[in-house]
Amino acid sequence: MQLSLTDQLQWIADSTSILVPELILVAGILSVILLNIFRVVHFRIYGAVAIASVTLSGLSVLLHWHTDPVSLFNHLLRADDFSSAYKLLFALGTLLTFLLSLSSGTSNKPAEYCSLLLTATLGANLLVMSTSFIMVILSLELISISTYVLAGFHFTKPGAEGSLKYFLFGSAATAIMIYGISLLFGLSGTLNFTSSEFVSHLIAQHSSLVMLSGFFILAGFLFKASAVPFHLWAPDVYEAAPLPVVAFLSVVPKLAGVAALLKFTLAINLFGQSFFDWQTVIAAVAILSIVVGNLSALAQKEAKRMMAYSSIAQAGFLMAAMAPLSLQSMQFMIFYSAVFLIMNFAVFTLLQQFETTYKTTSIHALAGLAKTALIPSVLLTMALIALTGLPPTAGFTAKLFVFSSIWEAFTGTGKSILLWLLLIGLLNTVISLFFYLKIPFYLFIRANTLTEPASAKSFTFTNLLGLVLVIALFVFFFYPALLMGWLNRINFVL
């Protein structure tokens, strides 16, 4: 039904009033720019403004929680509880990034640094709300352009090379995605991939172009999730970028990409009526990401590169959580996302403590440092145990939920790809022991044969932040209902 101009203007006004969390982020970006115009030079002032913005944005998500889906701006966006859950995770991830940055004095260009992080978070919020391909592209570019610059914020030759590789891969993935969208628009006649028109037109199509365009569109989401085959940029970027930026890149853009990929997969799968089996595609990409990430991590000698390959494998586990395409699996995916955020930030927080004190994140250089840095060594070991998926940490609970969801989907459908996903996921959990526990082995078992390292301070803000995150991992293991009880109320609607 064609709306009148008055009705359209009223819809825009109503939509704007719902976007309070995003408007707060915009206000934060503008405030940082204004501070820069007035020549404010202290990073802590910019950091305080940015932290206040992202905190208020997260609180606003809680206050404006939408149990019932609400379409915004003529179906460009939709506010619902699924997107709200992820927006809370983005706010938490960005807040932790700013706290890490303040403790390390990351940037000599504070206005640019803070505004880029807030812009990337804004893009992530919009991406998980997107119901139109137009907003998907705009949101992805908001995230991508901001993170291209952040990746090179050390202003060194390796940082520039990593940032350039990131940019080139991202540009290629976006171009492929836009071409796929153009094909799918021609076949469906609409850019709104959640509409009944999109579904009905594609059900009537039996063209291989539907499959081809779907593969092309996957490129943009897989790049943002750093999943195979769009993962090659990750190791160089992780190694060269500042640690707080690496922590941010490993979580916020990845989770935004995976959440948007879930919505697109459900749409292109046409609620199980597609002539092509997209569930098999997701499961196959998950298997490849898990295997490539874990096997590549085994050979790494630098902690940040190891975590890059770990991040690729974790993207596979996030997609494995998605693969059953059921309501329960989506709730488990959000649980895994929340635990993954805590685990990754715990590891990078404690790695930053070692980098600040000993000027290195090389695994071999960590030999024997547990004697002089006992507290961060113990906390880092706990965080790595969680990433492995061992009890008594929430990493075990998260993987248990994922594997149980895959098994239930296999028993219901009998698809062999789901059984292979389950078996390969379990096998790779064992394989991950050999590289995740390599760092504790060097910290506690190997002796330092070079020079006697200086003692690290036991009571630092970084250690305190790491302690809080590790405690959260134990809490969600013993009391997973604290999170799952809330997630069970999320009713995903495409």
Domain, as residue range, for 288: 277-494
pLDDT of amino acid 494: 66
The H-assigned helical ranges of 19-42 are 20-37
The number of domains in the chain is 1
**Is 151 within the bounds of a domain?**
no
In a domain, 357, yes or no: yes
139 inside domain? no
Checking if the pLDDT of 190 tops 70, the result is yes
Joined together, the tokens standing for residue 106 give 């990351």
What is the arithmetic mean of pLDDT over 386-415?
92
* DSSP-derived 3-state class of residue 71: strand
pLDDT number for residue 13: 76
Structure tokens at 280: 């098999």
> What's the first-to-final CA gap in the chain, in angstroms?
21
The reply to whether 387 falls in a domain is yes
Q: Is residue 225 part of a domain?
A: no
pLDDT digits (tens, 9 = 90+) for 335-344: 999 999 999 9
Given its phi and psi angles, is residue 351 left (phi above 0), alpha (psi -120 to 50 degrees) or beta?
alpha
DSSP line for 416-458: HHHHHHHHHHHHHHHHHHHHHTHHHIIIIIS---S--PPPPPS
Closest listed residue to residue 464, CA positions, set 379, 407, 385:
379
Distance CA 316, CA 71 (A): 31
SS3 66: coil
Contact 183, 217 (CB under 8 A): no
Query: Token pair for residue 319?
Result: 């997609």
Higher-confidence residue of 199 and 422: namely: 422
Tokens of 179: 């071409």
Lookup result for tokens 């940032």: 163
pLDDT of residue 354: 86
CB–CB of 467/54 below 8 Å?
no
CB atoms near residue 109 (< 10 Å)? 16
302 forms bridges with which residues in the sheet?
A: 362
d(CA 255, CA 179): 24
pLDDT in tens, 61-113: 988 887 778 888 888 888 888 999 999 999 999 999 999 988 765 557 888 88
Specify the pLDDT at position 106: 55
| Residue 293 resides in a domain | yes
Q: Phi first, then psi: what are they for 477, rounded to 5°?
A: -75, -50
pLDDT of residue 177: 93
Task: Decide if 201 contacts 274 (C-beta within 8 A).
Answer: no
Query: Tokens standing for 444?
Result: 């506690």
Rounded CA-CA distance 402/407 in Å is 9
Length of the chain: 494
pLDDT at 452 over 80: no
pLDDT number for residue 123: 95
Report which DSSP code applies to 437: T
Q: Half-sphere exposure of 365 toward its Cβ, with a 13 Å CA cutoff?
A: 14
Determine phi and psi for 478, rounding to 5 degrees.
-80, -25
Whether 78 maps to a domain, the answer reads no
Is there a contact between 284 and 229 (Cβ–Cβ < 8 Å)?
no
Q: Which two tokens stand for residue 169?
A: 């891969």
> Using CB atoms within 10 A of its CB, is residue 113 exposed (0-12), middle (13-18) or buried (19+)?
buried
Element (H, E) at 94: helix 81-104
* 450 pLDDT above the threshold of 80: no
Is there a domain that residue 446 lies in? yes
pLDDT level of residue 194 (50, 70, 90 thresholds): confident
Q: How far is C-alpha 361 from the chain's CA centre? A: 22
pTM above 0.85, yes or no: yes
Distance set, CA 3 to CA 13, 70, 429 (Å)? 14, 17, 54
Q: Rounding to the nearest 10 degrees, give the CA dihedral for residues 91, 94, 99, 101.
A: -170
Half-sphere exposure of residue 456: CA atoms within 13 angstroms, side-chain side: 27
Write the DSSP string, 308-349: HHHHHHHHHHHHHHHTT-SHHHHHHHHHHHHHHHHHHHHHHH
